[in-house]
Amino acid sequence: MSDATKTRGLTRRGLIQGAGAAAGLAAGSGAITGFPAIHAADPVTLRYLGTAVNQSGEIARKVKEDLGITIEYIPVVTDEVSKRVVTQPNSFDIVDTEYFSLKKLMPSGNLLGMDAKRIKNADRITPVFTKGEVAGKKIGDQGTAPKKVFYLEGQTSTKFAGSPTEWITLIPTTYNADTLGIRPDLIKRPITSWKELLNPEFKGRASILNIPSIGIMDAAMVVEATGDYTYPDKGNMTKAEIDRTMKVLIEAKRAGQFRAFWQDFNESVNLMASGETVIQSMWSPAVTKVRSQGIACTYQPLKEGYRAWATGFGLPKTLSGRKLDAAYEFINWFLSGWAGAYLNRQGYYSAVLETAREHMAPYEWAYWMEGKPAEQDIKGPDGTVMEKAGSVRDGGSFEQRMGAVACWNSVMDENTYMIRKWNEFIAA
């Protein structure tokens, strides 16, 4: 970083620290009084672009109550988020996007590096993001691990920095470790390895997700589990490695291994709940949803580890003035605990664990984060019982789950080739 930027940053920092502290105070106090007067006088609306996953009405309502900021959700699918950021950067004020998308988003120059000094809890963000560690232990960093794309060289730079800087690409909202979902009542034996996904025993009853960049990594986990091949980086394959992985998938498909492929949350829930499939790649809340229908479904931890993902807030370069202040204020509020607790209670993980803990009951924290048996019924955000007292979270504690991450969702250098091969797989 040049000296010029440093000075600029420093002067502004001084100016902003006061404002940030005031905003933090307002958010922290939670009382009706203490809003920055400006918001009360002239309400700000933030257009929040993201997938529907994180866009809850509860959060918007609470933000309005605490900060006076109106959140206007623009819910689209993951791919559409990236498309919007690249092609219509003026159509939103804050974006919630996946870290793996950053490789294509940052070069477009449409996102701004976020000033760490304006993020009150920036230094309390879990080391999963900043260092790639859980409880002091390094975790898998294959693919687009957030630590590789967390910092920028400068505020308007499009290059990721190798070491921590004060410019952050995305402030984490949610992240999780993904694995296979299974129907224990129909499989009736323990499942311990990714290779079971392509085990002929489950012919016609397995499924994989039809999102090429994620599907191929699940397939790579299977290939490694069978001992066929060990990838230097599953998240960034060479053409030969893509060919090898696709060959395995195509053979399985031709042999009738897959019942269907799924593309969205509800499809995966329906496949599993209806018994069309008994083993498939799945997302955590989908497993919860199947279970809430009274159907046994396990988010099975596997010995090869998890495939992780993370999303975070980014700001468009065009944002300025009051809206920019409001965006920072919203992000600070988001990290201050209420939202984190809300997300943790759905099975996701939040960026600043300590603040979220303050907003969770001890028994909730013990169940969701420490992997302990639930002391009482675990309720979802809407009050429905998600888990009965005594049950234990699949995969255990935060350390056990995030600590066993093997790779991260990613965009490969050979992405174009991979997409072509994936289309070939679908046509096979």
Partner 1 sequence: MTTALDQAASSLPEAVVPAAPAAGLRSEERRQRRLAYLQAGPLALVFLVFFVVPLALTLVVSFWEYNEYEIIPAFTLQNYADVFEGCLSGPDLCTTFRTYLSTLKFCLLGWGFTLAIGFTVAYFVAFHVRSTTMQTVLFLICTIPFWTSNVIRMIAWMPLLGRNGLINDGLTGLGLIGSPIEGLLYSDFSVVLAFVHLNTVFMIVPIFNSMMRIDRALIEAATDAGATPWQTLWSVIVPLSKPGIAIGSIFVLTLIMGDFVTVGVMGGQQIASVGKVIQVQMAYLQFPAAAANAVVLLGAVLLVIVALTRLIDLRREL
What is the contact surface with partner 1 in residues (CB under 8 A)? 77, 79-80, 82-83, 86, 103-105, 107-108, 204, 210, 212-213, 253, 258-263, 270, 274-276, 411, 415-416, 419-420, 422-424, 426-428
Taking the C-alpha atoms of residue 221 and residue 82, their distance in angstroms, rounded to an integer, is: 26
Taking the C-alpha atoms of residue 149 and residue 134, their distance in angstroms, rounded to an integer, is: 18
Please identify, using beta-carbon distances, which residue of 192 and 266 lies nearer to partner 1.
Answer: 266
Please identify, using beta-carbon distances, which residue of 398 and 422 lies nearer to partner 1.
Answer: 422
Smallest gap from Cβ 274 to partner 1, in A, equals 5
Please identify, using beta-carbon distances, which residue of 19 and 419 lies nearer to partner 1.
Answer: 419
Please identify, using beta-carbon distances, which residue of 104 and 372 lies nearer to partner 1.
Answer: 104
Smallest gap from Cβ 108 to partner 1, in A, equals 5
Task: Please state, as a whole number, how many other Cβ atoms lie within 10 Å of the Cβ of residue 323.
Answer: 19
Smallest gap from Cβ 348 to partner 1, in A, equals 24
Q: Are strands 385-387 and 206-209 parallel, antiparallel or unpaired?
A: unpaired
Please identify, using beta-carbon distances, which residue of 286 and 339 lies nearer to partner 1.
Answer: 286
What separation, in Å, do the N-terminal and C-terminal C-alpha atoms of the chain show?
50
Smallest gap from Cβ 380 to partner 1, in A, equals 25
* Residues facing 260 on adjacent strands: 207
Smallest gap from Cβ 252 to partner 1, in A, equals 11
Smallest gap from Cβ 315 to partner 1, in A, equals 18
Q: How crowded is the C-beta side of 189, counted as CA atoms within 13 Å? A: 4
Please identify, using beta-carbon distances, which residue of 260 and 366 lies nearer to partner 1.
Answer: 260
Q: Is 321 helix (H, G, I), strand (E, B) or coil?
A: helix
Residue type, 311: T
| Phi, psi for 383 (deg, rounded to 5) | 95, -10
Q: Pull the structure tokens for residue 271.
A: 């496949």
Alpha carbon of 389 to those of 28, 79, 184, 288: distances in Å? Answer: 32, 38, 20, 15
Taking the C-alpha atoms of residue 208 and residue 154, their distance in angstroms, rounded to an integer, is: 39
Smallest gap from Cβ 113 to partner 1, in A, equals 17
Q: Are strands 137-138 and 133-134 parallel, antiparallel or unpaired?
A: antiparallel
Please identify, using beta-carbon distances, which residue of 108 and 391 lies nearer to partner 1.
Answer: 108
Please identify, using beta-carbon distances, which residue of 276 and 370 lies nearer to partner 1.
Answer: 276
Taking the C-alpha atoms of residue 115 and residue 119, their distance in angstroms, rounded to an integer, is: 7
Taking the C-alpha atoms of residue 236 and residue 238, their distance in angstroms, rounded to an integer, is: 7
Taking the C-alpha atoms of residue 149 and residue 141, their distance in angstroms, rounded to an integer, is: 12
Inter-residue contact 347 to 181 (CB < 8 Å): no
Please identify, using beta-carbon distances, which residue of 16 and 260 lies nearer to partner 1.
Answer: 260
Q: Pull the structure tokens for residue 272.
A: 């599993």
Q: Pull the structure tokens for residue 25.
A: 């105070």
Smallest gap from Cβ 88 to partner 1, in A, equals 13
Smallest gap from Cβ 236 to partner 1, in A, equals 13
